[in-house]
Structure 1
Amino acid sequence: MTDRGNEQADQSAAIKDPDEWVTGDEPPTAAQESYLSTLAREAHAELPPDLTKAEASKRIDELQAETGRGQ
Structure 2
Amino acid sequence: MSTNQKKPDPVTEQDLPSNTVKDPDTWATGEETMTGAQASYLKTLSEEAGEPFDETLNKAQASKRIDELQSSTGRGKNH
When normalised by structure 1's length, the TM-score is: 0.83
Q: Are 1:56 and 2:62 matched, yes or no?
A: yes
Higher relative contact order (CA 8 A, sep 6+): 1
The ranges of structure 1 where at least 4 consecutive aligned residues each deviate by more than 2 angstroms after the TM superposition are 1-5
Please identify the structure whose Cα radius of gyration is greater: 2
1:35 corresponding residue in structure 2? 41
1:67 corresponding residue in structure 2? 73
Structure whose residues are more often helix by fraction: 1
- Sequence identity (%): 50
How many residue pairs match? The answer is 68
When normalised by structure 2's length, the TM-score is: 0.76
Q: Which runs of 5+ in 2 are unaligned?
A: 1-9
For residue 17 of structure 1, the aligned residue among 3, 15, 23 is 23
Q: Which runs of 5+ in 1 are unaligned?
A: none
